[in-house]
Amino acid sequence: MSDLRGSVKAGDPLRAGTPIAGRTGDRAEAPAYTRPVRRHVDYALARRAVLRDLGAGRLDRDDVCDAHPELLRAGRNIGSPAPTACPVCGRRNLRLVSYVYGDALARANGRCITSPTELDRLDATHEEFTRYVVEVCLDCHWNHLQRHELHGRRHVG
């Protein structure tokens, strides 16, 4: 195994003795920098893995087509049509349902979002909350978490 200490060159900011911004005892403090928080996580890779395992016979259709009755009801009544067909049955009855969760949401915690204006209103009035988008097929009952997103005034822009 090679020794990585020899790979640091003179003038390299990682060289021993070089001040790092924000560390106590540095000669000059640089302005604080905070990394932006990632706004969403996409679950497309997990979805592909489930579909691959279903196609290979490692999962049974009953294992992946098990949507809760409340999710099916939400998909039927307030879900928006998905741009693609169901990956399991191939029918065009795939819906996207959005739920919001957050400590400060009070009565809105766990609710389905019925319109973009409702999401905008929550964005303007709450500091932080999470939106989960779930796809559900009304025919075969396939369901999968598509993505989750950070919302609220803290994550605007």
Residue 2 has pLDDT above 70, yes or no: no
Q: Is residue 106 part of a domain?
A: yes
Per-residue pLDDT tens for 117-135? 999 999 889 889 999 999 9
Q: Is residue 2 part of a domain?
A: no
Give which of 60, 83, 77, 87 is closest to 143, Cα–Cα.
87
Q: Is residue 34 part of a domain?
A: no
Q: Is residue 4 part of a domain?
A: no
Share of the chain above pLDDT 90, in %: 58
47/49 Cα distance (integer angstroms): 5
- DSSP secondary structure letter of residue 38: P
Q: Is residue 6 part of a domain?
A: no
Number of domains in the chain: 1
Per-residue pLDDT tens for 48-100? 999 999 999 999 999 999 999 999 999 999 999 999 999 999 999 999 999 99
Q: What is the pLDDT of residue 154?
A: 82
Mark residue 106 as left, alpha or beta (left: phi above 0; alpha: psi -120 to 50; beta: remaining).
Answer: left
CB neighbour list of residue 85: distance below 8 Å, 6 or more residues apart: 91, 92, 94
Q: Is residue 1 part of a domain?
A: no
pTM score: 0.73
Q: Is residue 9 part of a domain?
A: no
Residue 123 lies in domain: 39-155
Q: Is residue 7 part of a domain?
A: no
